[in-house]
Homo-oligomer: A and B are copies of this chain.
Amino acid sequence: MTDRLPSPVTIEEVAAAAGVSRSTVSRVVNGATSVSPSALEAVSKAISDLHYVPNRAARSLASRQTLAIALVVPEETTRFFGDPFFAAIVSGINARIARSDYVLNLFIANSDPGDKMTSYLSRGNVDGAIIVSHHTSDTFIDRIADAVPVVYGGRPVKLRDDDYYVDVDNVRGGREATEYLIGRGHRRIATITGPQTMPAAMDRLTGWREALAAAGLTPGAVENGNFTDEGGAEAMRRILASGERPDAVFAASDLMARGALHALAAAGLRVPEDVALIGFDDSPIATSVSPALTTMRQPSFLQGEEMASMLIDRLAGIAIPNSRIMPTGLVVRESA
């Protein structure tokens, strides 16, 4: 192997420059409180003068932490990467991690149970893991969760005692989106759902049902759009083909709403005049289409940041609630 030079300046040199011992430098680097102001200042100066960056291998070896966090992404990356909602989640995670001493290790999860990734994680090569977007069928999850602290993006499929997650109130989001439609006078309301193997998709559907029931309305068509653009378009086509045309549609993601929009346009229907359409996410898609989408916002970037924060707190031994439910909010634009 070619030798890679590590950071040339060591803690020893910083200590010398600052006129203190290694330990004191270590203390300021690690934010220990018990350092005198003068020492703190001298060390800080030496650090920035010398551009000192701690060697993570040494640190990790001595402290018995890896300082690494795994970001586990499900195999079917097409859907994952195709949705700006996830881009925002990952950006948020990245942003929070960047402010910490941790680095993010990316793993694209292969459901193969003998998987190298699973054993890598199980062997304590990371301090914790963030798992985004999993399905009922993802079996490797449990093995990871047995080995290291995990924070989930979205309520996990089977909730266990020591599960931590960040989510929004999807039932409520679905309900309020639908209530808005009802309040605007719509009566034949269909929905395009996500895959019913995912809690978020199930919950939004539940919300839609609840709102209709509360208003005494008969539920319209329910079609699975699989959380994809094309799936949304197909679901919309099936809805239109199925008989009575709805006067409004609740799509459980903006991506699917976009697909639906195209299907509606292809069918010669105007939005919102003929069919009102409401999305979910308030991702960049919402404003990039025409008409701009009315949608239920969720704070994706913040959710990502919060996921990382929760994990970092847990690793630091700070007690935190098992879940963090972030607020949603209706954003009214043109489509409904």
Contact = CB atoms under 8 A, between A and B. Distances in A.
Contacts of A82: 81-82, 84, 87
A116 B54 CA distance: 13
A100 to B, nearest CB: 10
A83 B229 CA distance: 12
A266 to B, nearest CB: 5
Contacts of A314: 2
Contact of A106 (B5, B64, B105, B124): B105
Contact of A87 (B3, B4, B77, B123): B77
Interface string A234-263: 000000000000000000000000000010
A205 interface: no
Contacts of A229: 229
A57 B3 CA distance: 16
B6 A64 contact: yes
B81 A86 contact: yes
Interface in A147-206: 148-149
Contact of A53 (B65, B71, B107, B123): B123
Q: Copy number of this protein in the oligomer?
A: 2
B84 A84 contact: no
A317 B2 contact: yes
Nearest to A67: B57
A289 B232 CA distance: 12
Given A2-B317, A53-B125, A57-B57, A77 B98 contact: no
| A interface bracket (residues with beta carbon within 8 Å of B) | 35 or more
A108 interface: yes
Given A1-B317, A58-B61, A78-B84, 14 more contacts: A2-B317, A3-B64, A4-B66, A4-B124, A4-B127, A6-B64, A6-B123, A77-B87, A90-B106, A90-B108, A94-B106, A106-B106, A262-B262, A262-B265
Interface of A: 1-7, 51, 53, 55-58, 60-61, 63-66, 68, 71, 77-78, 80-84, 86-88, 90-91, 94-95, 98-99, 103-108, 110, 116-117, 119-120, 123-125, 127, 148-149, 229-230, 262, 265-266, 284, 288-289, 314-317
10 contacts: A56-B57, A77-B88, A77-B91, A81-B84, A81-B90, A82-B82, A91-B108, A94-B106, A98-B116, A262-B262
